[in-house]
Amino acid sequence: MNEWGITGGHESGIVYLVGAGPGDPGLITRRGYDVLHHADAICVDALVDPVLLADVPEEVERYYVGKHAGFHTLKQEGIQELIIRLAKEGKRVVRLKGGDPFVFGRGGEEALALREAGVPFEIVPGVTAAVAASAYAGIPITQRKMACFAMMLTAHEMPDKDSSCATLPWPEIAKLTGGTIAGYMGVKTLPKVIERLVEGGMNPETPAALIERGTMGGQKVVTSTLMKLAVDGQAAGIKPPALFVIGEVVSLSERINWLNPAPLAGKRVMVTRPARQAMPMVQSLQHLGATVLPAPTIKVAPTYIEASWKRMLSQPDRGGWIIFTSENGVRYFMEGLDKAGQDVRFLGRFKIAAIGSGTRDELASRGLKADFVPSRSTTAVLSEELPAHLEKGQWVIRVRGNLGDTNVEKALAAAGAEVQAQYVYETVTAPLNDLVRAWVHDVAPDIIAFTSGSAYSGFQEQWGEEADSLLRGAKLASVGPFTSRIIRDEGYEVAIEADPYNVTGLVEAIREDCEV
């Protein structure tokens, strides 16, 4: 057991049944967050916000087991077999479920299956929608002198069918007063539920509400009366997942309403940046109220070309310039330096150029100061402005990845420099995450943000025939002119372009566009 109280892998492994909360990824518990980030494998449901997995290490196994938008997924028995198998392989398995695993989440069934299989497990409760979605809508589920109890029920099946919902004592529920009823999964069956309650004697003027996507940026709330709720909800276009709340406490919604709309409230923004770098952008967009879909289209991995490093290190007394044109370049150059048996002292003989603020900040985080940053964060401007700072015959090391042109090297060589390209990483298309696919098929993004031309190319490769409709159905946001040109050359409109040409500028450009 480690410092977090998280059991390490052993012969039989362990399963954590974790409640992710009702939607807002910030509502997962601290315990849930800790076990998630120490997992070997994660089995995730459809209603879980993908942001929760965005900073989980890439090597962690992911299994999408949601029942969502017509996708073929495992039946409940298959899910149980999967988590048991993974645990018996000695893995720490997180079964990540929306809301609370024991509130209409079939967590009890999974716990019993684990017990029968002899697999150790832990229950990590989550915030359930009846409490959280109501709170975000300004509805206290209990209130002194108004609601001394709260009832949670599922209305997924029609009340006149042979189901668990059919066994609910509707006449008795209808006669209850002084409490609150919260119904899960009941958008389609709501008219029948209302009919049963009114027939049982509930006052048709009882305050009632429908809450769609509670706690999320696209939350939609309709308040009405019991009798009119289904009609008003349909008129407002309420769709699953939604919760209905019935009781006098709903009348407090307008007075308590505390959730002020943020600039990007209701906007779904897809961020295509590599997973390792995406979180600052994701968090900035979330703070502006967006529902953010981290959907990395490329992944970056280090590469170590021994001959190139030997050549660079064979001239111990020679200095010059070293150019970093990406944060990845800084990160993987330093890793390569360590692998070559060197450290930061090697850079003492060089002046350092950084293409923009992101690269400059990555250098600064390692105690390195950039001597030159171009006036614009593009390789074209760097190629124009840096030669004025070079001496003829000076050695220049251009740190780079496998993609992109060689214009920087050509421009500096034309200025009289001796240029060495040092390849330290490679970029490849990332596999398309099943959870991302499910979310996109449920509701397409309003904005797709591209932070590089390779991210755009990766998107095309990931989505194949579906890419065109997604690109034409959303506003496309680009980090700068170079990326915009790649997108436009393929016939798509770039509606939003960053200025300055970095992630901060891109987030600001998206905000400004949505405020117009």
Q: pLDDT tens track of the chain, all 516 residues? A: 554 566 554 556 999 999 999 999 999 999 999 999 999 999 999 889 999 999 898 899 999 998 754 454 688 999 999 999 999 999 999 999 999 999 999 999 999 999 999 999 999 999 999 999 999 999 999 999 999 999 999 987 655 555 555 578 999 999 999 999 999 988 999 999 999 999 999 999 999 999 999 998 889 999 999 999 999 999 999 998 899 999 999 999 999 999 988 899 889 999 999 988 899 999 999 999 999 999 999 999 999 999 999 999 998 889 999 999 999 999 999 999 999 999 999 999 999 999 999 899 999 999 999 999 999 989 999 999 999 999 999 999 999 999 888 999 999 999 999 999 999 999 999 999 888 999 999 889 999 999 999 999 999 999 999 999 999 999 999 999 999 999 999 999 999 999 999 999 999 999 999 987
Query: Nearest 5°: CA angle at 281, between 280 and 287?
Result: 90
CA-nearest of 49, 28, 47, 36 to 93 is 36
Whether the bond into 500 is cis, omega within 30 of 0: yes
| Tokens coding 58 | 């890439």
pLDDT for residue 74? 82
The burial class, CB within 10 Å (0-12 / 13-18 / 19+), for 464 is exposed
Identify whether the C-beta of residue 47 lies closer than 8 Å to the C-beta of residue 158: no
Question: DSSP character for 261?
Answer: P
Structural domains in the chain, sorted by start = 14-126 (3.40.1010.10), 131-256 (3.30.950.10), 268-297+430-515 (3.40.50.10090), 300-428 (3.40.50.10090)
In the set 55, 67, 232, 468, the catalytic residue is 67
Could you give the 3-state DSSP secondary structure of residue 5? coil
Q: Is 175 a catalytic residue?
A: no
Note the pTM of the prediction, 2 decimals: 0.86
How many degrees, rounded to 5, is the angle at CA 353 between CA 350 and CA 355? 160
Alpha-carbon gap, residue 360 to 428, rounded angstroms: 24
Give pLDDT, residue 161: 55
Phi, psi for 376 (deg, rounded to 5) = -130, 145
Which amino acid, 231?
A: V
Give me the residues paired with residue 41 across strands: 61, 93
Nearest to 50 by CA among 265, 216, 261, 214: 216
Q: Catalytic annotation on 67?
A: yes
* One-letter identity of residue 297: T
- The conformation of residue 74, written as its DSSP 8-state character, comes to -
Alpha carbons 411 and 139: distance in angstroms, whole number: 63
Pairing of strands 220-225, 207-212: antiparallel
Distance of CA 249 to the CA centre of its chain: 33
Are 95 and 63 within 8 A, CB to CB? no
Residue pair 422/306 in contact (Cβ under 8 Å)? The answer is no
Residue-level pLDDT at 69 = 46
Catalytic residue among 45, 49, 434, 446: 45
Pure H helices in 340-392: 357-364, 379-385
Q: Which residue has the tokens 């600039």?
A: 263
Give the list of residues 6+ apart from residue 503 with CB closer than 8 angstroms, or none: 273, 280, 281, 284, 358, 451, 479
